[in-house]
Amino acid sequence: MKPIMMTVDLTTGTSQITPVDELFDTYLGGTGAATKLLTDEIALNKDPYAPPSPVFFAIGPFNGLYPLCTKTVALFISPLTGNLGESHAGGNLAMALFQAGIHILKITGRSAFPCYVRIVNHEVSIHRAYSLKGMSALASERVLRERIGNTWKSSIMRVGPAGERESPIACVTVDTSRHFGRLGLGGVFGNKNLKAVIVSGNGGIELGSNKGRYLKFYKNLYDQFVHSPALSKYHDLGTSMNILPLSRINGLPTRNFSQGFFEGAASISGERFADQLLIQKIACAHCPVGCIHMAILRESFDEKNHQYKANKIAYDYELIYALGSNLSINSPEDVLRLLLLIEKQGWDAISMGVTLAWSTEAFMKGVITTRETGGLVFKFGDADTYERILRRVIEGDMEFYRDVEKGTAFLAEKYGGESFAITFGRNEAPGYMTGLHGFLGFSTGVRHSHLDSAGYSLDQKKSEIEKPAREWTEDLFREGRWRTVLNSLVICLFARNVFTMPTILEGLAALGMTTWDEEKLQELARKIHVMKYELKNTLGFSFDRERLPEKLTSVFTATGLLDEAEYRQQMRIFEDLLAKDARALT
């Protein structure tokens, strides 16, 4: 199957197919191919909310064919940061794109009316979506599935009301509880008047003479996933198993990163969620692990007559941090109650949690008062008030509440309180307070995410391995660079230790892609990594301007107090390593 790009132009209502085999020969696919495409486009436009601003959804050569190669990468200009927007989501989407024979889906333009796009194989239709306007991200999926009369094989991406309001912290929800969560893709959908995209197909590939090799490799891979203890932990408690150990080492952000130990950690631990609220574990299409943990939350809609609605909500570590410890909430039901509202609206839960935490500290410090909050008194641990805040944001009845859904950096710039705004490159911080290399990873990462280079995991190794900070920075750099290859194959990063260099080469060869070798893959990693920073620089990023939130220089992390001079020095080392790679490429 030759890779193709499907372009849907919402302004003209047209679509077009372009072969992208040369692009895939050079960049493998996924993030590599999409970064090249976005780089070419930003020469023409840098405004995330200009109609021609494109969104690229890309898969790679392994998607649809190997287990845990389940992700789709979205690239766009982020309305939250004004810089590179990159987000990855699972669910059925990668499989649906593969079956539709589409390797890159490009969406551009702005529809004159609220719309949703339906793609079946290579057929594209654009439909009016007036009746879906204002509908929650959860309900829109149900309605659209009924409307298309099908089947869980179709993948449905959609936004909730937050995306329609063009909130830069709005996400795009994919199928059951998967998200293009970070960096505001939902706001871009809203700006394009795009409520949803549905993808399905019934194609596949002919393996021909590679079939025997493919099946042998597949079985080997599958066995590793099913029997590996490294992956069984994701099925057992899931990532929420990290709550207790991180709190124990002082690495769990609590009350807007005031400390790394949460006294209520046991009450919102993965163990507690599993014992009391877990009802189901589900998986992305083509994954035998199944790490998606669904909890049940009972919602009363008629107390007098004991009428309840049962809601199923996915939870994981990041969500529990953002709406639990970081807001000092120690009841799993309260965490789920806030999460349900956030899921319905379609906000990124990490961004909204950090923004609520900043708002609370801003209130406690007098940066905002009851004048801005309309009488509400913000307090850490007060779930009822947080719910009221979210409802007022939805109503948009006061300036401050309309501003809340613009994110932490926006609020801090407008009202003051930048010293305790916990953002990196304007993106709200993920849930790790492990120390220097965790924070350095957020600062230097191409999307300012813990998933870029996993510096938090390096910090946790420091208690066992002693070496100079420079060497940890080199590890961080190499990890971020290598992940560009994993993200061009668009694998689930939980499988990163299985998809080693030899395994990837074997997997490519089993698909007849025998021209790749170790040297070429390393060279590709370097090339994509450098290209991403060049793209970021064009959009205004610079290592010099990147700032550590001031508050983080005075709090104890899992590896002690942070030295800002050391942070700056390691930043320069990272920048030098990148410059060296760039020179090697020329």
70 binds ligand SF4 (CB under 6 A): yes
Which of 28, 174, 283, 368 is close enough to bind ligand SF4 by CB under 6 A? Answer: 283
Choices 32-40, 54-62, 284-292, 321-329; region in contact with ligand SF4 by CB under 6 A? 284-292
281 binds ligand SF4 (CB under 6 A): no
Of 50 and 230, nearer to ligand SF4 (C-beta) is 230
Question: Shortest approach of ligand SF4 to residue 434 CB, angstroms?
Answer: 22
Which of 290, 381, 416, 512 is close enough to bind ligand SF4 by CB under 6 A? Answer: 290
289 binds ligand SF4 (CB under 6 A): yes
CA 568 to chain centre: 27
Q: What is the 3-state secondary structure (H, E, C) of 427-486?
A: EECCCCCCCHHHHHHHHHCCCCCCCCCCHHHHHHHCCCCCCCHHHHHHHHHHHHHHHHHH
Q: What are phi and psi of 139, to 5 degrees?
A: -70, -35
291 binds ligand SF4 (CB under 6 A): yes
Which of 284, 357, 390, 436 is close enough to bind ligand SF4 by CB under 6 A? Answer: 284
Choices 79-87, 283-291, 414-422, 481-489; region in contact with ligand SF4 by CB under 6 A? 283-291
Which of 97, 350, 422, 492 is close enough to bind ligand SF4 by CB under 6 A? Answer: 492
CA 261 to chain centre: 25
94 binds ligand SF4 (CB under 6 A): no
3-state secondary structure of 131: helix
494 binds ligand SF4 (CB under 6 A): yes
Q: Which two tokens stand for residue 481?
A: 């660079």
Which of 68, 157, 268, 278 is close enough to bind ligand SF4 by CB under 6 A? Answer: 68
Count interface residues toward ligand SF4 (CB under 6 A).
13
3-state secondary structure of 352: helix
376 binds ligand SF4 (CB under 6 A): no
Asked if residue 433 lies in contact with residue 253, where contact means CB atoms within 8 angstroms, the answer is yes
Q: Which of 256, 260, 433, 439 is nearest to 362 (CA)?
A: 256
Distances (CA, A) of 212 to 220, 269, 290, 310: 13, 45, 27, 47
Q: CA–CA separation, 100 vs 94, rounded Å?
A: 10
Q: Which two tokens stand for residue 464?
A: 């066992």
357 binds ligand SF4 (CB under 6 A): no
Strand partners, 212: none
Choices 286-294, 303-311, 315-323, 478-486; region in contact with ligand SF4 by CB under 6 A? 286-294
The burial of 275, by beta-carbon neighbours within 10 Å (0-12 exposed, 13-18 middle, 19 or more buried), is given as exposed
Choices 14-22, 158-166, 261-269, 282-290; region in contact with ligand SF4 by CB under 6 A? 282-290
Which of 33, 292, 422, 436 is close enough to bind ligand SF4 by CB under 6 A? Answer: 292
Which of 5, 23, 252, 287 is close enough to bind ligand SF4 by CB under 6 A? Answer: 287
The residues of the shown chain that bind ligand SF4, judged by CB under 6 A, are 68, 70, 90, 234, 283-284, 287, 289-292, 492, 494
